[in-house]
Amino acid sequence: MEFLKAENLTFSYRNQYQTVHAVRQVNCAFERGKAYAVVGKSGSGKTTLLSLFAGLELPNSGAVIFQNTPTNKMDRDRYRRDHAAVIYQSYNLFPLLTAMENVLYSMKLKGIRGKAARERAEKELDAVGITPEQYRRFPAQMSGGEQQRVAIARALAAGNELILADEPTGNLDITNGDQVVSILLRLAHEENRCVIIVTHDLEIAAETDEILMMKDGVLEREQ
Ligand SMILES: Nc1ncnc2c1ncn2[C@@H]1O[C@H](COP(=O)(O)OP(=O)(O)OP(=O)(O)O)[C@@H](O)[C@H]1O
Ligand SMILES: [Mg+2]
């Protein structure tokens, strides 16, 4: 059984004036234990592809299939809560919750509470280099890199095995960006998750196991 795959995946944005064919007949498959990069020019369909993988959009034709179930036949809120974690370029955290509360929140949704939740949250925050002094800070009181790392800790704590990251380093300086990338690679290689990173940065892409190149909504594999 394939972990995640796209079959003839096609999606267009339509309004009364125009139709944009953002993703066209895409076929690809993803495994656990690997990190993938999706690269391509602005407007080539990368974010749309990720939204389809996350079940935030549904295909016009073709399918996104997660462990044998197509996204149009599943409870997609549950899918995102239990399986697919999405990390965006910015605005990842709940602004009115502290770093610790943000991480605890994702566990609470899954019924993990109390001391066990707190210990797990501390472990995950520690793994991404967030110190106990920072636990009680609100997102507005942290740097972009710190916020991004808390967002990753939140995805980790919830145990989601599919991590979808859209330009996760877009707002970060090189040091913070490198740190975020190495955390994402570790998740794939040491924790057996499946990590898909949309990035403009070819150096980041080169560190992953497989590069998928989008061009005008069509997927081309890099050699
Ligand atoms: N909500 C929308 N309504 C209409 N067209 C859209 C919408 N969102 C995206 N598009 C169009 O769909 C195409 C793919 O957009 P998408 O956001 O997936 O590109 P991208 O590869 O992520 O670009 P970038 O690198 O700039 O983030 C583009 O032509 C874009 O203009
Ligand atoms: Mg995009």
Q: Is there an atom of ligand 1 within 6 Å of 91 CB?
A: no
What is the overall mean pLDDT for the chain? 92
- pLDDT at position 102, please? 94
Does ligand 1 have an atom closer than 6 angstroms to the CB of 80?
no
At 13-64, the pLDDT tens digits run 998 889 999 999 999 999 999 999 999 999 999 999 999 999 999 999 999 9
- The set of residues, in sequence order, having a beta carbon less than 8 Å from that of 215 and lying 6+ positions away, is 40, 41, 44
Ligand 1 contact, 44 CB (< 6 A): yes
Q: Positive or negative CA dihedral for 81, 1, 56, 184?
A: positive
pTM exceeds cut of 0.75: yes
Query: Measured from the CB, is residue 215 less than 6 Å from ligand 1?
Result: no
CB 13 less than 6 A from any atom of ligand 1: yes
Query: Is the predicted pLDDT of residue 222 greater than 70, yes or no?
Result: no
Dmax (CA) for the chain in angstroms is: 55
pLDDT tens-digit map of 88-104:
877 679 999 999 999 99
How, if at all, do strands 61-66 and 4-14 pair? antiparallel
Of 117-126, 143-152, 172-181, where does the model show the most confidence? 117-126
The rounded Å distance from CA 48 to ligand 2 centre is 7
Beta carbons within 8 Å of 69's beta carbon, 6+ residues apart: none
Assign 141 a pLDDT band (cuts: 50, 70, 90): very high
Residue identifier of the C-alpha nearest atom 2 of ligand 1: 13
Q: Which of 9, 10, 11, 13 to mutate to test the pocket of ligand 1 (most atoms within 8 A of CB)?
A: 13
Q: What percent of the chain has pLDDT over 90?
A: 74
Q: Give the position, in ligand 1's atom list, of the atom nearest the Cα of 44.
A: 21
